[in-house]
Amino acid sequence: MSDGVLYQPAWQVLLCTQCGFCLRPGRNVWLRHLRQEPHCLRGAPLKALVELFASYVLLAPEQVAVPTQAVAGLRPQDGFQCLTCSAGLTRSLQTIQLHVSKAHQQKPALHKKSPLWRACKLQTFFAEKRYVRYFVVDNTVGAAGATDAGSKTRLDLGEANFFRQLTKDAVTAEEDAKAEANTVHGFDSHRSAIVPWLRRTGIEEHTRGLKKDEVHASFAVPKDAESEPELFLMLEVMDEIFAEAHSWCFDGPDCMLTWPRQLALSRFHTAAVGKARGFDPKEPNTLKTNFGYWKQFLTYSYRVAYCGSYFTTADDDQRTPESCIRLTDTQTKAWAAATQSAVEQDRPALRDAILALSMALICHEFGGRRYSSPLLSFCAMLSVKPHTKTWKEPGNYNSCLSGVIWVVQLIIFYASACLEKAERGDTLERIEQYCGQFLQQDTETPMGEILGWRLLLFTVSKEVVGPHQAQWDVDEKVLTYRDVDLHMDHVPRLLLSEFQQARHLLYDELMFGAQGLPRMRAWALKDNLDADAFGWFFGQHRENVELLKPLTRSLVTVIRDSKPLRDSFLDTAADGTKVWREKAIEQYEAVADEFLKRWVVPAHMGAGQPLRESELFSITWRNTQRRRSLYLKHGLAMLHTTYHKGQQQTGKFKDNIRFLPAALGDLLLDYLVYVIPLR
Three-class secondary structure assignment of 314-357:
CCCCCCCHHHHCCCCHHHHHHHHHHHHHHHCCCHHHHHHHHHHH
Looking at residue 350, what is its pLDDT? Answer: 92
Nearest Cα neighbor of 603 from 498, 473, 526 is 498
For residue 340, pLDDT beyond 90: yes
Nearest Cα neighbor of 663 from 631, 639, 637, 628 is 637
3-state secondary structure of 380: helix
Please report which confidence band the pLDDT of residue 295 belongs to, taking 50, 70 and 90 as the band edges. Answer: very high
Q: How confident is the model over 72-100, as pLDDT tens digits? A: 889 999 998 888 887 788 888 888 888 88
Q: Residue 77's beta-bridge partner residues? A: 122
Residue 86 DSSP label: T
Q: How confident is the model over 411-439, as pLDDT tens digits? A: 999 999 898 888 888 888 888 888 888 88
Q: How confident is the model over 364-373, as pLDDT tens digits? A: 888 888 889 9
Looking at residue 236, what is its pLDDT? Answer: 93
The mean-pLDDT minimum among 138-142, 226-230, 508-512 falls in 138-142
As a whole number of angstroms, the distance between CA 250 and CA 257 comes to 7
The mean-pLDDT minimum among 146-160, 456-470, 477-491, 607-621 falls in 146-160
Looking at residue 298, what is its pLDDT? Answer: 93
Within a 10 A sphere around the Cβ of 149, how many other Cβ atoms?
Answer: 8
What mean pLDDT is predicted for residues 656-676? 87
Contacts 24+ apart (CB under 8 A), 181-185: 181/212, 181/389, 182/211, 182/212, 182/213, 182/389, 183/209, 183/210, 183/211, 183/212, 184/208, 184/209, 184/210, 184/211, 184/212, 184/215, 184/384
Task: Give kind and range of the element (H or E) at residue 632.
Answer: strand 630-633
Say how far residue 413 (Cα) sits from the centre of its chain. Answer: 30
3-state secondary structure of 417: helix
Cβ-proximal residues to 151 (8 Å cutoff; 6+ apart), any chain? none
Q: How confident is the model over 390-418, as pLDDT tens digits? A: 788 888 888 899 999 999 999 999 999 89
Please report which confidence band the pLDDT of residue 652 belongs to, taking 50, 70 and 90 as the band edges. Answer: low
The mean-pLDDT minimum among 239-243, 280-284, 417-421, 606-610 falls in 606-610
Looking at residue 186, what is its pLDDT? Answer: 62
What separation, in Å, do the N-terminal and C-terminal C-alpha atoms of the chain show? 35
Specify the pTM. Answer: 0.57
Cα Rg, the chain, nearest whole Å: 31
The mean-pLDDT minimum among 18-27, 218-227, 325-334, 453-462 falls in 453-462
Please report which confidence band the pLDDT of residue 251 belongs to, taking 50, 70 and 90 as the band edges. Answer: low
Nearest Cα neighbor of 117 from 131, 133, 132, 103 is 103
Looking at residue 464, what is its pLDDT? Answer: 67
Looking at residue 337, what is its pLDDT? Answer: 93
Please report which confidence band the pLDDT of residue 151 belongs to, taking 50, 70 and 90 as the band edges. Answer: very low
Give yes or no for a contact between 183 and 210, defined as CB atoms under 8 angstroms apart: yes
What mean pLDDT is predicted for residues 301-329? 84
What mean pLDDT is predicted for residues 561-577? 82
3-state secondary structure of 422: coil
As a whole number of angstroms, the distance between CA 239 and CA 233 comes to 10
For residue 512, pLDDT beyond 60: yes
Q: How confident is the model over 444-490, as pLDDT tens digits? A: 999 989 988 888 888 887 776 666 677 887 777 888 877 777 788 88
What is the SS3 assignment for 531-597?
CCCCCCCHHHCHHHHHHHHHHHHHHHHHHHCCHHHHHHHEEECCCCCEEECHHHHHHHHHHHHHHHH
164/203: higher pLDDT: 203
As a whole number of angstroms, the distance between CA 267 and CA 275 comes to 9
Is 232 buried (19+), middle (13-18) or exposed (0-12) by CB count in 10 A?
A: middle
Tell me, what amino acid is at 300?
A: Y
The DSSP bridge pattern shows strands 630-633 and 636-641 to be antiparallel
Give yes or no for a contact between 554 and 674, defined as CB atoms under 8 angstroms apart: yes
251/367: higher pLDDT: 367
Sheet strands side by side (includes 630-633) = 630-633, 636-641, 656-659
For residue 354, pLDDT beyond 90: yes
What mean pLDDT is predicted for residues 192-196? 66
3-state secondary structure of 63: helix
- Taking CA atoms, 344 is separated from 1, 238, 408, in Å, by 56, 17, 28
For residue 189, pLDDT beyond 80: no
Residue 275 DSSP label: S
For residue 531, pLDDT beyond 90: no
Q: How many helices (H) and strands (E) does the chain have?
A: 28, 15
> What percentage of the chain exceeds 90 in pLDDT?
15
Region of residue 545 (phi > 0: left; psi between -120 and 50: alpha; otherwise: beta):
alpha
Give yes or no for a contact between 489 and 477, defined as CB atoms under 8 angstroms apart: yes
Average pLDDT, the chain: 82
DSSP 232-274: HHHHHHHHHHHHHHHHHHTSGGG----HHHHHHHTHHHHHHHS
Please report which confidence band the pLDDT of residue 1 belongs to, taking 50, 70 and 90 as the band edges. Answer: very low
Task: Give kind and range of the element (H or E) at residue 496.
Answer: helix 490-504
Looking at residue 148, what is its pLDDT? Answer: 36
Sheet strands side by side (includes 77-82) = 89-90, 77-82, 117-123, 135-136
Residue 441 DSSP label: T
CA quadruple 412, 413, 419, 422: dihedral sign:
negative
Please report which confidence band the pLDDT of residue 338 belongs to, taking 50, 70 and 90 as the band edges. Answer: very high
CA quadruple 341, 346, 351, 352: dihedral sign:
negative
3-state secondary structure of 213: helix
Please report which confidence band the pLDDT of residue 150 belongs to, taking 50, 70 and 90 as the band edges. Answer: very low
For residue 293, pLDDT beyond 90: yes
For residue 570, pLDDT beyond 60: yes
Looking at residue 276, what is its pLDDT? Answer: 60
Please report which confidence band the pLDDT of residue 159 belongs to, taking 50, 70 and 90 as the band edges. Answer: low
